[in-house]
Amino acid sequence: QAHLDRIAAVDGDVHAFLHVNEHALAAAADVDRRRAAGEDLGPMAGVPLAVKDVLVTTDQPSTSGSKILEGYMSPFDATVVARSRAAGLIPIGKTNMDEFAMGSSTEHSAYGPTRNPWDLDRIPGGSGGGSAAAVAAFEAPLALGSDTGGSIRQPAHVTGTVGVKPTYGGVSRYGAIALASSLDQVGPVTRTVLDAGLLHDIIGGHDPKDSTSLDEAWPSFAAAAREGATGEVLKGLRVGVIREFPDSGFQPGVAASFRESLARMEAQGAEIVEISAPHFEYAVAAYYLILPAEASSNLAKFDSVRFGLRVTPEGGATVEDVMSATREAGFGPEVKRRIILGTYALSAGYYDAYYGSAQKVRTLIQQDFANAFAEVDVIATPSAPTTAFKIGEKIDDPLQMYLNDLTTIPANLAGIPGISIPSGLAEEDGLPVGIQFLAPAREDARLYRVGAALE
Ligand code: GLN
């Protein structure tokens, strides 16, 4: 009830939620009943959870921020939602996002932007700006996000929250409306590293319904966070910083906060090692071919027949007329831009030049990481180049918007885990800054240890 009251008080300004769960109190009462009946629900029972609208839910609409899915009710829950309910978490609402998770500011939502609780004229990051703003504004203690190129970590950076992109395959994608299937991962957005670990423990692990789900036993990430909190882990930890990320590409306050964090780690016994990742400069370019290619294929299912909106044009008779009128009305400009880009990149005659080349770059980036992790335990970067920018500032310049993802994209291309934790406020504007840590695939626990040590 306290969180519902908080939502009622502030969400008119913040607009973190697309839908507030009218069944939340009934779900809470049900958790009480289960507990009274002796069910062991674990430590998180009764805690409200904000759910990014990319994740399908049976009790609330799921739109992925798009008009084409307005009012869509899923017949099943995403695995991460089902597991959260089983653990007694209460889905409190569905959070706003860039349409189909395409964006870095939540301005591409078909339902209007979310505002950053630190400064309502600024963006909360994207695509998961709703989840991060809900957590930062105390509308929910925990949230779920999805990260294809940074959509958990960059919103965490600009809202002073913690965001984790797990190892690819570590968390089920079943019921996550697909953007780019080889890049998408679901993960936690919280106020502390321990909270993220507790949520990750609930949603993670093998799911037979996701063919890319890793079939292995994971350690407890909450235990890793508790272990890390003593700071011991920093002694002798080898932290890689990337030579090719020049200070000049980052806002001064972001670079300064990053250097301060490194100095703090060094003071506690960490060793800072310069590493080379020569192919990172091509990561954004490769990503913005691979993502549109996969997205154009994934979004073909919105064909006016199987899901959501159907528009029948006046005088239109053929299936094609209905399909194109529906997609014309249902998709926003950024989605159309990427469908056109992706379709072009995959077309006969251009496939090798664009999609094929981008895949080769992807392999080179994976090799850069493999070489780096032979020398260091984790890699550290600023989580994003700037603090929260003004709403409207980059909306007309897609390339500027894409460049925001410079530091987050390489992890998705390589399938490795990443965490963003708050590292302070930028001197020039007083806005939150995050530091990102990356670890080898399957070593998510290392990120929880290091993140909790620095927190
Ligand atoms: N900003 C990136 C994009 O627009 C990231 C998206 C995401 O992670 N879902 O594609």
Q: Which residues are catalytic?
A: 52, 127, 151
**Cα-to-centroid distance, 55 and ligand 1 (Å):** 16
Q: What six digits make up the tokens of 207?
A: 């799911």
User: Which two structure tokens, joined as six digits, stand for 6?
Assistant: 């908080």
What does the pLDDT read at residue 92?
A: 98
The pLDDT value recorded for residue 317 is: 80
How many H helices and E strands in the chain? 15, 11
Which pLDDT score, from 0 to 100, does residue 245 have? 80
Q: Which residues contact 398 (CB under 8 A, 6 or more apart)?
A: 334, 337
Q: Is the pLDDT of residue 437 over 80?
A: yes
The ligand 1 atom nearest the CA atom of 288: 10
In terms of Cα–Cα distance, which of 431, 408, 455, 433 is closest to 257?
433
Supply the pLDDT for residue 114.
Answer: 98
183 CA → ligand 1 middle, Å: 10
Atom number of ligand 1 nearest to Cα 154:
1
- Full domain range(s) for residue 152: 1-455
pLDDT at position 454 over 80: yes
Report the complex ipTM.
0.97
For residue 315, what pLDDT is reported? Answer: 85
CB 60 within 8 A of CB 93: yes
CATH number at residue 123: 3.90.1300.10
Q: Residue 248 has what pLDDT?
A: 65
Residue 46 to residue 31: CA distance in whole angstroms = 6
Measuring CA to CA, which residue among 204, 222, 221 is closest to residue 213?
204
Whole-angstrom distance, CA of residue 2 vs CA of residue 445: 32
> What tokens were used for 120?
């309502």
What pLDDT score does 247 carry?
62
Residue 182 Cα to ligand 1 midpoint, Å, equals 13
Percent of the chain with pLDDT over 90: 95
* pLDDT tens-digit series, residues 90-115: 999 999 999 999 999 999 999 999 99
DSSP code for 149? S
Task: Tell me what the pLDDT averaged over the chain comes to.
Answer: 96
Mean pLDDT, residues 66-73: 96
* Closest to 253 measured CA to CA, from 435, 455, 453, 436: 435
Alpha helix ranges (H) inside 22-101: 24-36, 79-86
Residues forming beta bridges with residue 382, ordered by sequence position: 435
Substitution site in 54, 152, 158, 291 for ligand 1 pocket (most atoms within 8 Å of beta carbon): 291
Torsion sign, CA atoms 76, 82, 88, 90:
negative
Token pair of 317, please? 């008779």
| Residue in the block written with tokens 């829950």 | 77
- What are the pocket residues of ligand 1 if the criterion is a CB atom closer than 6 Å to any ligand atom? 101-104, 127, 146-151, 179, 291, 405
- SS3 of residue 269 by DSSP: coil
pLDDT digits (tens, 9 = 90+) for 238-292: 999 999 886 668 999 999 999 999 999 999 999 999 999 999 989 999 999 999 9
Question: Between β-strands 238-242 and 432-438, what pairing exists: parallel, antiparallel or unpaired?
Answer: unpaired
d(CA 174, CA 55): 9
Q: Return d(Cα 357, Cα 362) in angstroms, integer.
A: 9
Report which secondary-structure segment, H or E, holds 401.
helix 398-403
pLDDT value of position 452: 98
- Token pair 């809900």 is found at 134
How many structural domains comprise the chain?
A: 1
- Tens digits of residue pLDDT in 348-391: 899 899 999 999 999 999 999 999 999 999 999 999 999 999 99
pLDDT bucket at 316, cuts 50 / 70 / 90: confident
Closest atom of ligand 1 to 102 CA is: 4
- CA-to-CA separations, 35 to 46, 203, 249, in angstroms, rounded: 10, 20, 52
Which candidate, 129, 131, 142, places its Cα nearest to that of 87?
142
Query: Is the pLDDT at 307 greater than 90, yes or no?
Result: no
The predicted pLDDT at position 154 comes to 98
Does pTM top 0.95 for this prediction?
yes
Q: Tell me: pLDDT of 330 over 90.
A: yes
Nearest-CA residue for atom 5 of ligand 1:
149
Convert the pLDDT of each residue in 34-59 to its tens digit: 999 999 999 999 999 999 999 999 99
Pairing of strands 17-20, 48-52: unpaired
Confidence of residue 440 (pLDDT cuts 50, 70, 90): very high
Omega before residue 127 within 30° of 0, cis: yes
